[in-house]
């Protein structure tokens, strides 16, 4: 197309009453655009991926070599085999915290305000980000799995490895929406950071990610067994080991669905209400 | 039709005339010899030249592009915006002038669909801001305080990002980004990540990003706050250019000079209320009275008053041996006053030409007490 100095752009005509199909198509287009934006940002901040991975590696190394002896001997299991699936889940949850922090930064720096002034789907702002975080999570999970392999861990099969990473990504995606809800509600990045630790730490430690439930006190066991991080850890463990884990997988999927059903609409309505 | 009525009720309050208390010196202090007096007068005349008004002519069209009618907004007990009405025609620039917290940003946020409207109504291109935000967003561009560019993307990527969100086709948004980069002289830095930009470059990208879809209504929220004079001048040129192409622009600013330079109509806002409005010329006529302030030697006060005491509006302070003479923007009268004193043997230790600051404008408009000075009847 040749341009003259007096160009007029073919600005899209004002769309008065888009049909549902058009609205969905445009929302998907916007989600894709935000995904592109957040992915470019991720690629320009390799430190974000690095920190997500390094936490996983820390957990692998510290738990395996520091606590591994006592936990493994106590429960009579191969601790590295037990630990790796748990660490994959925890790594995916770190990704959910990035959703929180990234969205809080956008909210306070005026980026979402600009988005809000544009003719775009506002849900896409959050959907695009959570998907971008999930994509980064896959990269982080693969890197953590490689470190596990170097430490001597072996997946039962390639299919099992893919399934384990996919399920960890999925549960991480569910938690991303919890992170998004916190960010939209609280906004201030430092407060958001603290609140993210607030849910993550107790859930993470009182779970079967690092130690079998049987080693914990009886009164805690019901909680430990059924809470989402345990469900996810057990399910990922089943996929990675090739051991039967149908129930755990169902429970993990149910938790993911529950997180999405609760925090998806909640986040969107909070975000829309965020209008001052 | 409603809009036509809005226009007439929008403005034209009378502006009380300013008193001559000014605090900020636009003139260096210090002892003055003849050389520096004449150099000072050159500066003065340059200053006065700069003050000449360069407004774009307003295009009168029947319906305003932007119309606000009795807008109200409060946060808790604080009334941020109280009964604000104005309209902007295509090619017109309306300036909202006021200090921090005056309600300028809140007003822009309401018009740009970022903030809900408590009472009153607003429309952009005939669409209601409160009930048809999706349509309104297709017609507006927003830049400045309320909106940010992405620091991790390059300038070009930022422009293409907005092109994508405005649903411009791929070729079109690339071409559009390139065109804007070229037109607004951003080629030097367009392919660097925006986080590395200087304040002026970032602000330019910010304003240009609002233009991607050539919105007929543009909101610029303090587009030059904190910029160096050169960057400011560049943004001003861009705004003037946009207005001349028919964009309706709402500009908020803390700078009298900026409103003067760019706006066809200025609303001076304080605590959410319009305290004066009109063309910059009209406001200046009432507010922008320069004051020649003269300090004289001890004992020369009486003879000074004898020499120039007849001038209307003279303000004197015996204790500080200071005389304030309202001179308007008339160089000759400043010179005349100084010459008369000098010829009369008065020893002038210092003089300053003061321009009223925005503070002074507010003080005079809101009637808040100003500095204690004896004002002769």
Taking the Cβ of residue A185 and every Cβ of chain B, the question of whether any pair is shorter than 8 Å is answered with: no
Nearest-by-CA chain B residue for A111: B148
What is the structure's pLDDT at A13? Answer: 59
**Chain-chain contact of B147 with A276 (C-beta, under 8 angstroms):** no
Helix, strand or coil, per DSSP, at residue B95: strand
Sequence-ordered alpha helix ranges (H) in B149-228: 155-165, 170-183, 199-209
A4 at B interface, C-beta within 8 A: no
**Residue A120 sits at the chain B interface (C-beta within 8 Å):** yes
Among A30, A45, A109, beta carbon nearest to B148? A109
Is residue A14 exposed (0-12), middle (13-18) or buried (19+ Cβ within 10 Å)? middle
Kindly list the strands in the beta sheet with B119-124, ordered across the sheet, starting from the edge strand earlier in the chain: B78-88, B66-75, B119-124, B127-128
Q: Tens digits of per-residue pLDDT, B168-183?
A: 888 999 999 999 999 8
Chosen for mutation from B107, B113, B114 (greatest number of chain A CBs closer than 10 Å) is B114
User: B134 — contact with chain A (CB < 8 Å)?
Assistant: yes
- What is the full per-residue pLDDT of chain A (276 aa) written as tens digits? 433 333 344 455 566 677 888 889 999 999 999 999 999 998 898 887 788 788 889 888 888 888 877 777 777 778 888 899 999 999 999 888 889 999 999 888 888 888 988 989 889 999 999 999 999 999 999 999 999 999 888 888 899 899 999 999 999 999 999 999 999 999 888 999 888 888 888 888 888 888 888 888 888 888 888 899 999 999 999 998 888 878 889 999 999 999 999 999 999 999 887 765
Touching check for B193 and chain A: CB below 8 Å? yes
pLDDT, position B68: 94
Q: Which residues pair with B352 in a beta bridge?
A: B293
Q: Report the pLDDT value the prediction gives residue B10, as an integer from 0 to 100.
A: 33
Q: CA of A252, closest CA in chain B: separation in Å? A: 35
Would you kindly state where each structural domain of chain A is located, as residue ranges?
25-273
Which residue in A144, A12, A111 sits closest to B167, CA to CA?
Answer: A12
Which residues, 6+ apart, have CB-to-CB distance to B199 below 8 Å?
Answer: B226, B227, B228, B231
- Nearest CB to A117; choose among B113, B116, B161: B113
Chain A: give the shortest CA distance to residue B183, in Å. 9
With an 8 Å Cβ cutoff, is A194 touching chain B?
no
Taken in order of first residue, the domains within chain B and their CATH numbers are: 25-51+288-354 (3.30.70), 66-285 (3.40.50.300)
User: Measured between beta carbons, which residues in chain A are less than 8 angstroms from residue B168?
Assistant: 9-12
**pLDDT at site B32:** 37
Q: What is the ipTM of this complex?
A: 0.83
Chain B residues closer than 8 Å to A12 by CB = 138, 166-168, 213
Look at the pTM and tell me if it is higher than 0.95: no
pLDDT score at A14:
66
Contact criterion met (CB < 8 Å) for A11 and B166: yes
Interchain CB contact of A118 with B (< 8 Å): yes
Collect all residues of chain B within an 8 Å Cβ-Cβ radius of residue A1: 171, 175
With CB atoms and an 8 Å threshold, state whether B167 touches A29. yes
Nearest one of B77, B167, B54 to A28, comparing CA atoms: B167
Between chain A and chain B, how many beta carbons pairs sit less than 8 Å apart?
104
Kindly state the tokens that stand for A120.
């775009």
Mind listing the pLDDT tens digit of every residue in chain B (377 residues)? 334 433 333 333 333 333 333 333 333 333 333 444 444 444 444 443 443 333 333 334 457 999 999 999 998 888 889 999 999 999 999 999 888 888 999 999 999 998 889 999 999 998 999 999 888 999 999 997 766 888 899 999 999 999 999 988 889 999 999 999 998 888 999 999 999 998 888 888 998 998 888 899 999 999 888 788 888 888 898 899 889 999 999 999 888 788 888 999 999 888 888 888 888 777 766 665 677 888 888 888 888 888 887 776 566 667 777 787 767 667 788 888 888 888 888 888 888 887 655 455 555 565 443 333 333 33
Answer yes or no: do A119 and B193 touch at CB < 8 A.
Answer: no
Would you state the pLDDT for residue A48?
78
Residue of B nearest to A30 (CA): B165
């Amino acid at each position: 197309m040749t341009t003259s100095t007096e160009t007029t752009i073919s600005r899209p005509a004002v769309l008065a009453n888009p049909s549902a199909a058009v609205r969905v198509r445009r929302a998907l287009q916007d989600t894709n655009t935000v995904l592109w934006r957040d992915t470019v940002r991720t690629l320009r901040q390799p430190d974000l991926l690095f920190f997500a991975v390094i936490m996983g590696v820390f957990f692998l190394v510290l738990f395996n070599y520091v606590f591994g002896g006592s936990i493994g001997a106590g429960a009579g299991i191969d601790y590295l085999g037990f630990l790796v699936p748990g660490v994959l889940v925890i790594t995916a949850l770190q990704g959910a915290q990035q959703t929180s922090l990234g969205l809080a930064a956008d909210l306070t720096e005026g980026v979402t305000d600009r988005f809000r002034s544009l003719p775009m789907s506002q849900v896409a702002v959050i959907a695009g980000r959570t998907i971008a975080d999930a994509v980064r999570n896959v990269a982080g999970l693969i890197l953590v799995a490689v470190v596990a392999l170097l430490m001597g861990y072996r997946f039962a099969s390639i299919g099992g490895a893919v399934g384990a990473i996919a399920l960890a990504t999925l549960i991480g995606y569910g938690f991303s929406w919890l992170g998004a809800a916190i960010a939209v509600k609280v906004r201030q990045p430092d407060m958001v950071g603290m609140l993210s630790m607030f849910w993550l730490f107790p859930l993470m430690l009182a779970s079967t990610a690092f130690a079998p439930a049987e080693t914990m006190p009886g009164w805690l066991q019901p909680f430990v067994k059924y809470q989402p991080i345990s469900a996810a850890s057990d399910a990922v463990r089943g996929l990675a080991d090739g051991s039967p884990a149908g129930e755990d997988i169902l429970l993990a999927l149910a938790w993911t669905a529950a997180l999405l059903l609760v925090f998806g609409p909640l986040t969107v309505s909070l975000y829309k209400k965020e209008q001052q | 039709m409603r809009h036509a009525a809005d226009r007439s009720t929008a403005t034209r309050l009378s502006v009380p005339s300013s008193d001559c208390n000014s605090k900020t010196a636009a003139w260096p202090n210090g002892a003055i010899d003849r050389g520096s007096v004449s150099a000072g007068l050159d500066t003065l005349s340059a200053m006065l030249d700069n003050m000449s008004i360069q407004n774009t002519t307003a295009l009168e069209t029947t319906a305003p592009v932007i119309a606000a009618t009795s807008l109200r907004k409060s946060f808790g007990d604080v009334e941020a915006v109280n009964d604000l009405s104005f309209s902007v025609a295509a090619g017109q620039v309306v300036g909202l002038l006021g200090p921090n917290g005056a309600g300028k940003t809140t007003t822009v946020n309401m018009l740009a669909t970022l903030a809900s409207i408590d009472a009153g109504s607003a429309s952009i291109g005939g669409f209601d801001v409160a009930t048809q935000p999706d349509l309104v967003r297709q017609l507006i561009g927003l830049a400045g305080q309320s909106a940010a560019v992405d620091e991790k993307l390059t300038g070009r990527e930022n422009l293409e990002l907005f092109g994508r969100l405005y649903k411009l086709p791929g070729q079109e948004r690339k071409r559009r980004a390139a065109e804007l980069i070229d037109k607004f002289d951003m080629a030097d830095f367009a392919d660097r990540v925006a986080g590395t930009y200087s304040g002026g470059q970032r602000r330019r990208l910010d304003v240009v990003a609002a233009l991607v879809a050539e919105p007929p209504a543009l909101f610029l929220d303090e587009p030059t706050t904190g910029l160096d004079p050169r960057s400011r001048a560049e943004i001003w040129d861009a705004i003037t250019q946009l207005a001349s192409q028919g964009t309706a622009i709402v500009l908020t600013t803390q700078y009298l000079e900026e409103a003067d330079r760019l706006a066809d109509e200025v609303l001076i806002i304080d605590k959410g209320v319009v305290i004066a409005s009109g063309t910059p010329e009209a406001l200046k006529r009432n507010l922008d009275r320069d004051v020649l302030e003269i300090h004289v030697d001890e004992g020369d006060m009486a003879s000074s008053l004898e020499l120039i005491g007849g001038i209307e509006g003279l303000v004197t302070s015996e204790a500080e041996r200071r005389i304030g003479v309202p001179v308007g923007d008339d160089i000759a009268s400043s010179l005349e006053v100084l010459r008369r004193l000098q010829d009369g043997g008065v020893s002038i230790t210092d003089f300053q030409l003061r321009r009223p600051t925005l503070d002074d404008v507010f003080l005079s408009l809101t009637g808040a007490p100003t500095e204690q000075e004896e004002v002769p009847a």
